[in-house]
Amino acid sequence: MNDEQNPENLSPLDHNARLEHQFLAEYQSLRTELIKRLEIQHQIVLFSTAMAGVLITLGMLLSEIGTSAILLYPILAFFLATAWVHNDVRLFDIRSYIRARLEKKRLAGLEWENHLFIKRKGSYLRLAELSAFCIFVFVSIFALVIANQKLVEYKTTDKILFYGGVVAVVFSANLIILRRIQFLRGSKKHDQV
């Protein structure tokens, strides 16, 4: 073993133990980040659901600004969908790294991410994506339909919010669908690792 790999000139056994300890620390750190990102994803979905309930309720109760409140939801939901997808991409990256770099090559006996990967293999439906799609897209469409029914006359602000909401719904749907396609392609690519 050369000095670059073992700068402290430890015995091979001590050096391997130190490396294993470092890999285990990295594994624990990545698992902690993974759990935190899952929590963030759940909070985004819960916040979006609560926000939809508040804005649609306000929209139904208030006559002056009610329609505008309802029309805000699809636009805000787009930004939350973007945050949700960002976390989903990072979750996939962390899981792939743990599975390919740590579990398979460094930490024998730790196989949770590999187990989950094998279990998910061939599955074309992820409930997390389905629930995100329903919350961010279908609830936004529902808000647009309610706002459209409530509008007697379209003010300029309402027109901007309505069309902005339509664009936001299309973008949100495409974002989640494209994430699904990326996930399927990434799973096939990481399957070869």
Q: Please return the burial class of 11, using the count of CB atoms within 10 Å of its CB with bins 0-12, 13-18 and 19+.
A: exposed
Q: Is residue 30 part of a domain?
A: no
pLDDT at 159: 87
| Model confidence at 69: pLDDT above 80 | yes
- In which band, very low, low, confident or very high, does the pLDDT at 119 lie, cut at 50, 70 and 90? low
pLDDT at 106: 57
pLDDT tens by residue, 134-178: 999 999 999 999 998 887 677 888 889 999 999 999 999 999 888
Encode 34-43: b = buried (16+ Cβ within 10 Å), e = exposed.
beebeebbee
Q: Is residue 109 part of a domain?
A: yes
Place of tokens 């396609």: 181
What residue numbers bound the domain in which 143 lies?
40-191
As given in the structure block, the two tokens for residue 159 are 């027109």
Q: Which residue has the higher pLDDT, 140 or 5?
A: 140
Q: Is residue 76 part of a domain?
A: yes
Q: Is residue 147 part of a domain?
A: yes
| Model confidence at 15: pLDDT above 60 | no
| Model confidence at 19: pLDDT above 80 | no
pLDDT tens by residue, 80-105: 999 999 998 998 888 888 877 776 66
Arithmetic mean of pLDDT over the chain? 80
Could you give the number of structural domains in the chain?
1
pLDDT at 83: 96
Q: Is residue 31 part of a domain?
A: no
pLDDT at 122: 59
pLDDT at 163: 93
Q: Is residue 9 part of a domain?
A: no
pLDDT at 3: 47
